[in-house]
Amino acid sequence: MSNPIYSLQVDLPCSGIDRSYPIIIGHGVLSDSERFAALLGDSPVVLVSNDTVAPLYMSRVRDALGQGRKVTEVILPDGEDQKHLMSADQIWQKALEYHHERRSVFIALGGGVIGDLTGYSAACFLRGVDFIQLPTTLLAQVDSSVGGKTGVNHPLGKNMIGAFHQPRAVLIDLDSLQTLPDREFAAGIAEIIKYGCIWDPDFYHWLLEHSDALLTRNNEVLAEAIQRSCAIKADVVAQDEREGGLRAILNFGHTFAHAIEHVMGYGVWLHGEAVACGMVMAAQISATRGHVSEEMVIGLKRFLETFGLPVEPPSTMSAEVFLDAMAGDKKVVRGKIRYVLLEKLGDACLVDNVTIDEIAQTLAK
């Protein structure tokens, strides 16, 4: 088994069976046949990917899974617009045709779309089979592959159909980032800086100090940024797996982001791009309320801009348009829109009293 650079654990409350799982971060992880053998035993596998990632990485995973194992491959078209029930049905169809059983393990090879879709398919297949995440985008490595939120989009809303279903393991191969387009890479950076903002001011400052190294995808710095992000997410998820409270802070910037994605049309702005802009808006409101300094907001903007991330919302979106779009979000609780603001750098709070004037003021900045 290859030595990972980092190995951490998502500790979950144990109700009869231990559902804790490892996150492995290193090079050559997708080709590590010994690790797959240790995780899978002789279980059959349903290996799901898309037509962008499969030509790049499917063969090394297939080889690592070993000759003697039943492996059924499902390759879906690329795109957020494929994250719907019919794609899940394609996975179920193939798994049934090839007589997969409860001990079969689904494996997601790709970004957040494939991870969410495969996880959801696994949660429902035969009332639930295990799955493993092999995230290949930076965003999936630091966010979507960890924590067990799985699901698909519905015509009436993004991620509206889903299940909490924790993976058996998350295996992060740093090598896969070499082929990731710059825009997708930057989208992942936005989620990384989110963790600094809401949880760890030292990490936030460390990221600012290492922005040049991150920009050039320096392996060592990137590995540490991924590890620290995963550790924060694991910590939050361990304390509040089903988003009864604390976990909602992971949605910092997301209330505004989902409105931008919804109004602009999914895929026009990448999720991480919308999150970057949404974080600036939330930080600005926090600054106006006196919780963080204006300098913090300026620093955040500068950092995000270094990566080519947008920090201004679309000029067509007024405060009314934002409110209208946010009203349909999952983050509405008892009719009130819930926002994540900063109490101070590294400390987030949930509020439902952001006014239309505060949003308008932020847009005018």
The residues of the shown chain that bind ligand GLY, judged by CB under 6 A, are 143, 147, 149, 247, 250
Asked whether 324 and 318 are in contact (CB, 8 A), the reply is: no
Q: Is 140 in the site for ligand NAD (CB under 6 A)?
A: yes
| DSSP letter for each residue of 4-44 | PSEEEEE----BSB---EEEEEESSGGG-HHHHHHHHTT--
Which one, 100 or 254, has the nearer CB to ligand NAD? 254
H or E stretch at 105: strand 105-110
Residue with tokens 């009869």: 16
Q: Is 187 in the site for ligand NAD (CB under 6 A)?
A: yes
**Cβ of residue 158: shortest distance to ligand GLY, in angstroms?**
12
**At a CB cut-off of 8 Å and minimum separation 6, what does 146 contact?**
10, 23, 133, 170, 230, 233, 234, 237
Active site residue 149: yes
What does 62 bind: ligand GLY, ligand NAD, none (CB cut-off 5 to 8 Å by kind)? none
Single-letter amino acid code for the residue at 121: S
Stretch that binds ligand NAD, among 105-113, 218-226, 309-317, 349-357 (CB under 6 A): 105-113
Which one, 70 or 247, has the nearer CB to ligand GLY? 247
Active site residue 233: yes
Closest CA to 291 of 236, 228, 338, 354: 354
Active site residue 241: no
**Cβ of residue 317: shortest distance to ligand GLY, in angstroms?**
23
Active site residue 271: yes
Catalytic residue among 127, 295, 334, 353: 127
What does 53 bind: ligand GLY, ligand NAD, none (CB cut-off 5 to 8 Å by kind)? ligand NAD
Structure tokens at 16: 């009869």
Active site residue 251: yes
Which one, 52 or 121, has the nearer CB to ligand NAD? 52
Parallel, antiparallel or unpaired: strands 169-173 and 130-135: parallel
Please state the three-class secondary structure of 206-229 as a single string: HHHHCHHHHHCCCHHHHHHHHHHH
Q: Is 83 in the site for ligand NAD (CB under 6 A)?
A: yes
Catalytic residue among 184, 243, 273, 358: 243
Q: Is 23 in the site for ligand NAD (CB under 6 A)?
A: no
Among left, alpha and beta (phi > 0; psi -120 to 50; other), residue 23 is: beta
Which one, 143 or 200, has the nearer CB to ligand GLY? 143
What does 72 bind: ligand NAD, ligand GLY, none (CB cut-off 5 to 8 Å by kind)? none
The C-alpha atoms of residue 149 and residue 254 are separated, in whole angstroms, by 15
Catalytic residue among 69, 205, 247, 291: 247
The C-alpha atoms of residue 216 and residue 48 are separated, in whole angstroms, by 30
The C-alpha atoms of residue 169 and residue 32 are separated, in whole angstroms, by 14
Which one, 144 or 362, has the nearer CB to ligand NAD? 144
Catalytic residue numbers, as ranges: 127, 149, 191, 233, 243, 247, 251, 254, 258, 271
